[in-house]
Amino acid sequence: MHVILLADRLGQEVAPIDRRYSPALLPIAGRSVLERNLDLLVGRGVTHISLIIARDPEWFRARIADGSRWGIDLDILPMPGERNPREQIKRLGAMAALPAPVLRADVLLMPEWFKDDSLAISEQAMASGAPVCHPTSVTDPSLARLHWPELRDNPGLGPALLASLSHYHALVMQALDADDSGLTPHGERGVLPGEQDLHHVYYAAGATRLDESRLTGGFAGITTHVEPGVLLKGHCCLEQGSYVEEGAMLEDCVILPFTRVHGGQQVNAGILFEGEALDRTAPHWLKDRRQAGAASQRGVAYRNPARPEWQERILAALITLATRPFGSRYKELRHRLRQVQDSRMRLFGALPERSPPPLDRVGISSAGAIQPPDWRATPDAFAATLEAIQVGQTPGLRGAIREAWRLRQQGKQQ
């Protein structure tokens, strides 16, 4: 059976983890989302997969190679990200032999979305709008349910959608829950070589005894290390290569691969990634940066200080109408007011803009439409130090030059 998988998300919803991981490669207790999806599909008779990705092709090839680990033929096809599924399938050309199942591989495929041991879509999947379909042609309207910009706002799919950091954390906790039979800690293929459950890895990892850590379930990947004196509570997932220093207190936490947790860290229900502790206090924990409606850098939501308020835009429009009868006299002002109406600059308020500083001063300009550029000079400590050195050395330098000149003139006279 041939299946087309879409994993073309760019990953902005799970920022800042997207710096390293595509959503399809996010680890869940030792196995990535894509690997768990492949486990599910291979168990239902899939033999050939066309995987459409948008980023990090080298990471996908390193993780899943050509699919020989599952005994299938797997083609990795880089394409533009988060496009309409119809466009993506058209780019496949002859490889898209429809009718064939088309699924999203950057969300966690749930067994209840299918009937029995086949890929027939269940009634629950149809009711919840799950990203699975069996199109008969490229123009099939069912392909629209796989378009990510519309799919990411679907609240009926829950954490399996991986549309925020909270979704990812909830999925890992679900995988570590011993009472949950729908999502096992190590995937359907069982424990990989070198990976053990946290109940059996403590003495090898050098951690405190299990009764002192108060864990109800956990996971530790290959080459993890937990120093004595670490307090772990609830469900904790230590991915491959993670290191927890003595004194750390973690409860229901996910430690991403090759992350070092310092001894002073105290995190409850969070994600630790490259020195950052991400928990429910983060403004982007429940929503991704585009859903929050604010510009952001790597998931840290903030309001752009250069964006004017709606009152400023209205006032700029009124001032533009009032100055129009004066012709070209206020042409430059109207140009700046037009930028305010287009949300490119503020009407009031100075916005600091760093400029290349001269040797002895640091200039700061304002960027308001009403105020002209205002340069304010402030002393530079580095330049002041240089000036002090010059003042102290100049007299001696002048004396040396004067003496050299005198000796030269004296030699000429002789």
User: 111-138: per-residue pLDDT in tens?
Assistant: 999 988 888 999 988 888 899 999 988 8
Token pair for residue 63?
């993780």
| Residues 377 and 363: beta-carbon distance below 8 Å | yes
Residues near 276 by Cβ (< 8 Å), separated by ≥ 6? 16
* Beta strands, E only, 164-214: 196-197
| Statement: residue 25 has pLDDT above 60 | yes
CA separation, residue 217 to residues 180, 237, 253, 323, 411 (Å): 12, 9, 12, 70, 93
In percent, the amount of the chain with pLDDT more than 90 equals: 21
| Statement: residue 8 has pLDDT above 80 | yes
| Residues 345 and 304: beta-carbon distance below 8 Å | no
Q: Which amino acid is at 343?
A: S
| Statement: residue 400 has pLDDT above 70 | no
Please count the helices (runs of H) and the strands (runs of E) in the chain: 11, 23
Token pair for residue 257?
């691969």
CA 253-259-261 angle, 5° bins? 65
- CA–CA separation, 404 vs 102, rounded Å? 88
The tens digit of pLDDT for each residue in 46-62 reads 999 999 999 889 999 98
- CA–CA separation, 30 vs 190, rounded Å? 11
The tens digit of pLDDT for each residue in 79-103 reads 988 888 988 888 887 677 788 899 9
Q: What is the mean pLDDT of residues 25-46?
A: 91
Least confident of 140-154, 223-237, 261-275, 292-306: 292-306
Residues near 304 by Cβ (< 8 Å), separated by ≥ 6? 294, 295
- Mapping DSSP to helix (H, G, I), strand (E, B) and coil, where does residue 75 land? strand
The pTM for the full model equals 0.65
| CB-count burial class (<10 Å; 0-12, 13-18, 19+) for 399 | exposed
Token pair for residue 313?
């835009």
- Mapping DSSP to helix (H, G, I), strand (E, B) and coil, where does residue 393 land? helix
- CA–CA separation, 152 vs 98, rounded Å? 25
